[in-house]
């Protein structure tokens, strides 16, 4: 198989690392990739991975048989649709299904119409009715920009003027979902699907807030664990029966079935699990902790997905635990610099290190993002994984590097 992975994040580095171990691979390409993927595959650095025609040309030139879409932008741009037309196998949904991620308004309506448990909410397109709703609200609310926002389109606040300013800003060029604020802890649940069957992977949790103690602004994710030690068995059963199963039934019913990854962002509340969002791809940083625990050949697994043979595929998952810590740039999630020279990286086999958008010039590695690296510890127990990751995190050295100190450490969740 000749495989092309689309994206340049630590998630795509983790996906590429699984393919690199596959015995089925005769060619491995990443577009645009990063300095980490460059060591495992051929980076197609100049390829615009959000341009369907450019991706198709690269597939023809490099004789690619399978494209694995890592990040959300190519999905929203319709890369999977063009590849399907041209009969190139692709792990990633068509644009009409990707709307479940790229439009929170669409996904809220999908959940409501199919009775999938979610926070009560409604969508606004006009400032007037939105302002009136906010000024008269009786309960705490969360505001969500409908379109893609890299984890930064959500505001949780009690301050009426702040809510209105945020909402006005969003409504200038998008619609706005306003929903009930839920209290609980979050888990990220991933299912692989071949458009007929699905297979659920171990639970993950992502630490969304910037600072220790889950304080500060929302980020794309500052760390992750897999599996989630504090997720009760009862809640996991409820997630499967009340959310995952009904969602796949609804996808079939509405002709939205697809080949790829379905990511359920879930809040476990006193009233049971509630769906916060769907994504149509792996999470970042969840992929960095989840994928190293998948033991079976990732090339064969991807092939089973595109051939509709997932039900027969013996998926094997390690019983170990993984904890990932994101090393971020000074200023993130607000403004930050890129192109900062990296002075040192951990030199130990005890962890795995995944890069985001790094580049290398004349033997020097440079940062390229706000969340620059993910350090992943793996161990027999959760605590072993945490200790391994925290022993290595300070060895990622560049000017302004920082990370949360409590990833995996809270038994009651992020
Ligand atoms: P989303 O992109 O919809 O997953 O929202 C990003 C983050 O905002 C979530 O991971 C939660 O931390 C928070 N959030 C979203 N919706 C709610 C809600 N209804 N209640 C409380 N927190 C929420
Ligand atoms: N970790 C959150 C996301 O990938 O959307």
Ligand number nearest CA of 218 is 1
Contacts from 330-334 at CB under 8 Å and sequence distance 24+?
330/399, 330/400, 330/401, 330/402, 331/370, 331/400, 332/210, 332/219, 332/370, 332/371, 333/151, 333/152, 333/210, 333/217, 333/218, 333/219, 333/220, 333/370, 334/217
CA distance 245 to 111: 13
**Confidence check: pLDDT of 231 > 50:** yes
**Confidence check: pLDDT of 151 > 90:** no
Confidence of residue 148 (pLDDT cuts 50, 70, 90): confident
Distance, C-alpha 39 to centroid of its chain: 23
Provide φ and ψ at 391, rounded to 5°.
Answer: -70, -30
Residue written as token pair 């705490």 = 140
72 ligand 2 Cβ < 6 A: no
Facing residues of 69 across strands?
6
Give me the domains of the chain, ranges plus CATH numbers: 2-95 (3.40.50.20), 120-180 (3.30.1490.20), 183-312 (3.30.470.20), 321-398 (3.90.600.10)
Facing residues of 272 across strands?
269
Confidence of residue 412 (pLDDT cuts 50, 70, 90): very low
Mean pLDDT, range 230-237, rounded to an integer: 95
Ligand number nearest CA of 274 is 1
Mean pLDDT, range 393-413, rounded to an integer: 88
205 ligand 1 Cβ < 6 A: no
**Confidence check: pLDDT of 321 > 70:** yes
3-state secondary structure at position 134: helix
Distance, C-alpha 265 to centroid of its chain: 10
Supply the mean pLDDT for the chain.
Answer: 95
Confidence of residue 76 (pLDDT cuts 50, 70, 90): confident
Mean pLDDT, range 73-83, rounded to an integer: 94
**Confidence check: pLDDT of 46 > 90:** yes
Residue written as token pair 């839920």 = 182
235's CB contacts (< 8 A; 6+ apart) are 268, 272, 273
Mean pLDDT, range 268-279, rounded to an integer: 96
pLDDT, position 7: 97
Q: Whose CA is nearest to atom 2 of ligand 2?
A: 283
81 ligand 1 Cβ < 6 A: no
**Per this entry, what is the length of the chain?**
414
**Confidence check: pLDDT of 411 > 60:** no
**Confidence check: pLDDT of 145 > 60:** yes
- Residue bearing the bigger pLDDT, 409 or 12: 12
List pLDDT tens digits, range 274-313.
999 999 999 999 999 999 999 999 999 999 999 999 999 9
Q: Whose CA is nearest to atom 2 of ligand 1?
A: 151
Output the CA 136–ligand 2 centroid distance in Å. Answer: 32
Output the CA 387–ligand 1 centroid distance in Å. Answer: 29
Q: What single-letter DSSP state applies at residue 333?
A: T
357's CB contacts (< 8 A; 6+ apart) are 8, 9, 34, 338, 367, 368, 369
CA distance 31 to 389: 28
Structure tokens at 178: 């306003």
101 ligand 1 Cβ < 6 A: no
- Of 104, 145, 221, the one to substitute when testing ligand 2's pocket (max ligand atoms within 8 A of C-beta) is 221
Cβ atoms within 10 Å of 413's Cβ, excluding its own: 17
Structure tokens at 177: 């979902």
Atom of ligand 1 nearest to the CA of 119: 19
**Confidence check: pLDDT of 230 > 50:** yes
202 ligand 2 Cβ < 6 A: no
pLDDT, position 285: 98
Output the CA 274–ligand 2 centroid distance in Å. Answer: 17
**Confidence check: pLDDT of 340 > 60:** yes
Mean pLDDT, range 37-44, rounded to an integer: 98
**Confidence check: pLDDT of 348 > 90:** no
Q: What percent of the chain has pLDDT over 70?
A: 99
142 ligand 1 Cβ < 6 A: yes
Output the CA 61–ligand 1 centroid distance in Å. Answer: 42
CA distance 3 to 335: 35
Q: Give me the helix-helix angle, 95-102 and 104-113, nearest 10°.
A: 100
Output the CA 179–ligand 1 centroid distance in Å. Answer: 9
| HSE value, Cβ hemisphere, 13 Å, CA-based, for 349 | 0
Whole-structure pTM value: 0.94
CA distance 249 to 268: 22
**Confidence check: pLDDT of 272 > 60:** yes
**Confidence check: pLDDT of 47 > 90:** yes
pLDDT, position 150: 72
pLDDT, position 410: 63
**How far is the CA of 205 from the CAs of 32, 42, 268, 307, 353, in angstroms?**
27, 31, 11, 30, 19
**Confidence check: pLDDT of 413 > 80:** no
pLDDT, position 349: 84
């Amino acid at each position: 198989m000749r495989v092309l992975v689309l994206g340049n994040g630590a998630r795509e580095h983790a996906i590429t690392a699984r393919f690199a171990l596959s015995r089925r691979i005769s060619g491995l390409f990443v577009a645009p990739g990063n300095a980490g993927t460059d060591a495992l595959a051929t980076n197609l650095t100049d390829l615009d991975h959000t341009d369907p025609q450019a991706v198709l040309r690269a597939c023809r030139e490099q004789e690619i048989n399978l494209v694995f879409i890592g990040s959300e932008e190519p999905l929203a741009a319709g890369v999977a649709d063009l590849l399907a037309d041209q009969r190139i196998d692709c792990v990633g949904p068509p644009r009409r299904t990707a709307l479940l991620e790229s439009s929170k308004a669409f996904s809220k309506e999908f959940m409501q119409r199919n009775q999938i448990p979610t926070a009560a909410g409604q969508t606004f397109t006009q400032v007037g009715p939105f302002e009136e709703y906010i000024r008269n609200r009786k309960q705490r609310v969360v505001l969500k920009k409908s379109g893609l926002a890299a984890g930064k389109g959500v505001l949780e606040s009690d301050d009426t003027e702040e809510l209105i300013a945020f909402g006005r800003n969003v409504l200038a060029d998008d619609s706005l979902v306003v929903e009930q604020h839920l209290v609980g802890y979050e888990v990220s649940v991933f299912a692989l699907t071949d458009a007929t069957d699905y297979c659920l992977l171990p639970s993950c949790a992502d630490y969304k807030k910037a600072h220790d103690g889950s304080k500060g602004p929302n980020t794309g994710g500052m760390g992750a664990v897999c599996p989630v030690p504090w997720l009760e068995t009862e809640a996991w059963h409820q997630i499967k029966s009340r959310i995952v199963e009904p969602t796949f039934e609804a996808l079939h019913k509405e002709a939205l079935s697809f080949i790829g990854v379905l990511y359920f962002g879930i809040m476990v509340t006193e009233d049971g699990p509630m769906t916060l969002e769907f994504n149509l791809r792996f999470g970042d940083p969840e992929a960095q902790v989840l994928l190293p625990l998948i033991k079976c050949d990732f090339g064969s697994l991807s092939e089973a997905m595109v051939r509709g043979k997932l039900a027969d595929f013996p998926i094997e998952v390690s019983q170990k635990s993984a904890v990932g810590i994101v090393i971020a740039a000074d200023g993130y999630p607000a403004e930050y610099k890129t192109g900062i020279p990296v002075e040192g990286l951990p030199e130990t086999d005890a962890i795995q290190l995944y890069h985001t958008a790094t580049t290398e010039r004349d033997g020097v590695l440079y940062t390229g993002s706000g969340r620059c690296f993910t350090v992943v510890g793996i161990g027999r127990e959760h605590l072993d994984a945490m200790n391994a990751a925290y022993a290595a995190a300070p060895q990622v050295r560049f000017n302004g590097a920082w990370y949360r100190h409590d990833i995996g450490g809270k038994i009651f969740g992020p």
